[in-house]
């Protein structure tokens, strides 16, 4: 499930303390803080980037289990599928 960032809306209309919530993509955005009931709005944030400490979470075994496909660059404009069963075995920049 994706992580969404929210901020409490202060009485003057500015953003208060931010917090994160795991939600399904199909879930409606929150309108109230789940613990305090204060009004909130969803924040627009940059997507998370994989780091060295994330490698276990993005292992071939986990990607296969979760139904994801991963391609790795093997040359100039050439990528091979290294995890998952969906999509072609390889992709080139001309495809």
Provide the pLDDT confidence category of residue 6 given band limits of 50, 70 and 90.
Answer: very high
pLDDT band at 22 (very low <50, low <70, confident <90, very high): confident
Q: Which of 32, 10, 9 is nearest to 21 (CA)?
A: 32
Range of the domain at 73: 53-92
pLDDT at 3: 83
> Residue 47: inside a domain, yes or no?
no
Q: Are residues 36 and 57 in the same domain?
A: no
Give the model confidence (pLDDT) of 44-94 as tens digits: 887 655 555 555 667 788 888 888 888 888 988 899 988 888 889 999 986
Whole-number pLDDT of residue 71: 87
What is the distance between the alpha carbons of residues 72 and 81, in angstroms, rounded to a whole number?
Answer: 7
Q: What is the pLDDT of residue 56?
A: 63
**Does residue 48 form part of some domain?**
no
Beta strand residue intervals within the chain, DSSP E: 3-9, 15-22, 40-42, 70-75, 78-83, 90-92
């Amino acid at each position: 499930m994706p992580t969404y960032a929210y901020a409490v809306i202060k009485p003057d209309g500015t953003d208060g303390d931010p917090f994160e919530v795991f939600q399904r993509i199909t879930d409606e955005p929150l309108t109230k803080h789940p613990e305090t009931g204060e009004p909130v709005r969803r924040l627009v944030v940059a997507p998370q980037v994989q780091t060295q400490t994330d490698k276990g979470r993005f292992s071939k075994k986990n990607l296969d289990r979760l139904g994801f496909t991963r391609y790795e660059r093997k040359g100039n404009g050439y990528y091979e599928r290294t995890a998952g069963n969906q999509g072609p075995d390889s992709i080139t920049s001309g495809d």
